[in-house]
Amino acid sequence: MASRPCRNGFDVRNHTDAHKASIHAIVTNLGNYLTREISEGGTLAQVRVVATRLAYSPAFIACFAFAFRIAILYIVWQRMRGSPEATDYGFEVGRVARSIVTGKGFSSPLIPLETGPTAYLCPLYPYLVATVFRFFGIYSVPSHIILQTLNCAFAALVVFGIYAIAKRSFGTDAAIYAAWIWVFLPNAWHIPIAYVWDSTLSALWFTLVFWATLVLRGNQKLFSWAFYGALWAIGAMINATILSLFLPIVGWLAWSASRRSLPWLQYASVTCVVLVLGMAPWSYRNYKVFGRFIPVRSNFGIMLWEGSNPIALDVNSFALQPVWSLPEAELYKRMGEIPYMKSKEREALAFMRSHPRSTIKNILRKVGATWFEVSDRPHSAFSEYPFYLKMLWGVNVLFVLLAWMGTVSSLRAHNEEAVPYLFVLVFYPLVYYLTSTLVRYRFPIEPLLTVLAAYGFLRIWNADRQNDTSGSSSIQELNQL
């Protein structure tokens, strides 16, 4: 049967075959590596040593995580073989990336029609997608595969951050458990493959920021504090929501410095100045385009309205978004982006004031959805969930409970680094409780939840041990080998 060409001339069958070949190469190289390691000893004891060392190696775990996700991606594309050509993936990100490549600049995030310049999104990820589009085709199959592969790579690199953070805060055992949990955690392989969105890059970058937070504690070099501010600035250009944690976490660092009689105000000031300078070019662009100060994004009004309006369908009013609704998109274009957002914000606030009971009910539902929902299209009753979603729901509930147990246990153990973990769990989701929430919105803090869940599990597993943050007998046995 002849293969089906895409609209840009790329052959879906050829590219899935090429993807299959790349996966085969990864597996073959991994097998050759294991064969070389085992052949040196040739005994079961040596095999055990090699296997144990690999299992405790963050580099191996990261490679395994990447190969695992690529294998799933291959299965996904195999199931799509013979399906229609690539669709307009990436939602608003894809539309903005398309506008960039076609010479229209950072504009037109809506699917129904073109609307002109925008501050609807943070800039870095759309520009990354635009770069891929430019070299491999707009909405092409190769571009889709490359973007998914990049997300898989970002997710695999998170392993290093998880390992470093967990080892520093809770010990080597927690680091190993957390890294392997991340490998197989459903959200940690589903979201990178399912969504061409900033979620996975945000998770990687915020893991780096959090690790830098722990390392910076007690550091007396101004350059380190300035570099830390630059990390926050880049993170804000990827996902502005992480800025909700900037003041609590930097405040904790300043408090820690003051306890050591260090110039905490100087340190915090340097970090803040570098953050502002890092955000300044994008803020200036927004001011020049829209004539008003917009630090990063302009979409707060529509997000607030989406979760607080008289005809809200559920936790989220998907059909009401101008991204999907042609009447709303036409209104958006006619009014202009900023007036439209302000109008929606006023409508949402008016609804919240006039319907306090419904507002409280909506907020509580969004709290539950943020932590326990496993689908972007929540069903009206749990009984209506398909079996696989019920299984995922159970895994997610256990995961979240273990993460909160790890947080509480860390605080009760007077772990000095427990406070920033608590800040992440408390402050990061607040904006989604007020606006609207989706499964992928929690993903930037998923690596930290994984660390806390691993620690919570170990607290239960080692309940009869006195020192739960030291290396376990398995680590000591490995060193003896």
Domain span at residue 57? 12-296+384-480
Q: Which residues of 212-238 are buried (b: 16+ CB within 10 A; e: fewer)?
A: bbbebbebeeeebbbebbebbbbbbbb
Please name the residue that has the structure tokens 């299959």: 20
* Phi then psi dihedrals of residue 107, to 5 deg: -155, 170
Report the C-alpha gap between 250 and 276 in whole angstroms.
Answer: 14
Query: Does any domain span residue 358?
Result: no
Query: Quick one: pLDDT at residue 182?
Result: 98
DSSP 8-state assignment for residue 2 = P
Report the C-alpha gap between 450 and 457 in whole angstroms.
Answer: 10
What are the beta bridge partners of residue 107? Answer: 117
Query: Quick one: pLDDT at residue 158?
Result: 98
Query: Quick one: pLDDT at residue 17?
Result: 56
Kindly report which listed range (173-177, 398-402, 468-472) carries the lowest average pLDDT score: 468-472
Query: Quick one: pLDDT at residue 235?
Result: 97
Query: Quick one: pLDDT at residue 30?
Result: 58
Q: Given pLDDT bands bounded at 50, 70 and 90, which one contains residue 381? A: low
Work out how many domains the chain is built from and give that number: 1
Query: Does any domain span residue 331?
Result: no
Rounded percentage of the chain residues whose pLDDT exceeds 70: 82
Report the C-alpha gap between 46 and 424 in whole angstroms.
Answer: 43
Report the C-alpha gap between 349 and 227 in whole angstroms.
Answer: 39
Query: Does any domain span residue 376?
Result: no
pLDDT(217) > 70:
yes
Query: Quick one: pLDDT at residue 481?
Result: 43
pLDDT(86) > 60:
no
DSSP 8-state assignment for residue 86 = P
What sign results for the dihedral spanned by CA atoms 62, 237, 279, 134? positive
Mean of all residue pLDDT scores within the chain: 86
Rounded percentage of the chain residues whose pLDDT exceeds 90: 67
CB atoms within 10 A of CB 311: 7
Report the C-alpha gap between 444 and 439 in whole angstroms.
Answer: 11
pLDDT(236) > 90:
yes
Q: What is the token pair recorded at 47? A: 């095999």
What are the beta bridge partners of residue 11? Answer: 5
**Helix count (H) and strand count (E) of the chain?**
21, 0
Query: Does any domain span residue 289?
Result: yes
Q: Given pLDDT bands bounded at 50, 70 and 90, which one contains residue 314? A: low
Q: Given pLDDT bands bounded at 50, 70 and 90, which one contains residue 479? A: very low
pLDDT(45) > 80:
no
pLDDT(27) > 70:
no
Range of 1-5, 86-90, 250-254, 475-479 with top mean pLDDT: 250-254
Please indicate whether residue 420 or residue 12 has the higher confidence score (pLDDT).
420
Report the C-alpha gap between 156 and 134 in whole angstroms.
Answer: 25
Kindly report which listed range (106-115, 173-182, 215-224, 465-474) carries the lowest average pLDDT score: 465-474
pLDDT tens, position by position, 395-446? 999 999 999 999 999 999 999 899 999 999 999 999 999 998 888 999 999 9
Query: Does any domain span residue 154?
Result: yes
Report the C-alpha gap between 359 and 136 in whole angstroms.
Answer: 46
Report the C-alpha gap between 193 and 190 in whole angstroms.
Answer: 5
Report the C-alpha gap between 106 and 108 in whole angstroms.
Answer: 7
Query: Does any domain span residue 139?
Result: yes
pLDDT(244) > 70:
yes
